[in-house]
Amino acid sequence: MNKTLAAFAFAAILLTSSLSAQDVLNQVLRPPKGAQIAIVVFEDLQCPQCRRDAPLVEQAAKTYKIPLVRHDFPLPMHNWSYEAAVMARYFDSQSKQLGIEFRDYIFEHQPEIFPTNLRQFAEKFASEHKVDLPFVVDPQGKFAAEVNADRDLGKAIRLEHTPTIYVVSSNPKGRPFVEVQKPDQELFQMIDAMKAE
């Protein structure tokens, strides 16, 4: 089952069950199948701290050769982050790497972006990558549903800020996950500690 379908299925379970927040955390915060350790991040493309932490999180994933699982968590006070997340899902549908590059591109240009010019940035990105950006990016609402499913997961585990970064482990004897409060000081140390458990 792909990540999107799994998120939809899990969101449906959350809505119809009485899982505790801890149960939800244990379900959401696990490495992808086959991985021992991973980084899970809930981010908002308009969040300045997400912009600052994204390169460090990506570098940690590359350094340790562990998966980086990104979830969209657009905050209501940000006036273009939801639309940018939907566009990122469109680029994900073209290729996962293209979606990653689009998110990085949006973070790079974040200070220059406003609701009125977001589309222009997306068009420029699409043109540079030789991909068509349709006039209506999400006519069936599929990409918005994927963003909503991620946001619902974040709400279910009671996220309070972005980015929220976790180091997660599949080791049944160790800690299943730990939140990274200060990525620039703690991220690499927490990964080392998880690997040592």
pLDDT for 18? 52
End-to-end CA distance of the chain: 29
pLDDT for 47? 98
The list of the chain residues with pLDDT below 70 reads 1-26
Task: Return d(Cα 67, Cα 130) in angstroms, integer.
Answer: 27
pLDDT for 24? 64
pLDDT for 16? 45
* Angle ∠(53,182,157) on CA atoms, nearest 5: 85
Q: How far is Cα of residue 135 from the mean position of the Cα atoms in its chain?
A: 25
pLDDT for 171? 87
Could you tell me which CATH number the domain at 3-8+18-196 has? Answer: 3.40.30.10
Stated pTM of the model: 0.85
Backbone phi, then psi, for 180, in 5-degree steps? -95, 110
Q: Mind spelling out the 3-state secondary structure of 145-162? A: HHHHHHHHHHHHCCCCCC
Domain limits of the chain?
3-8+18-196
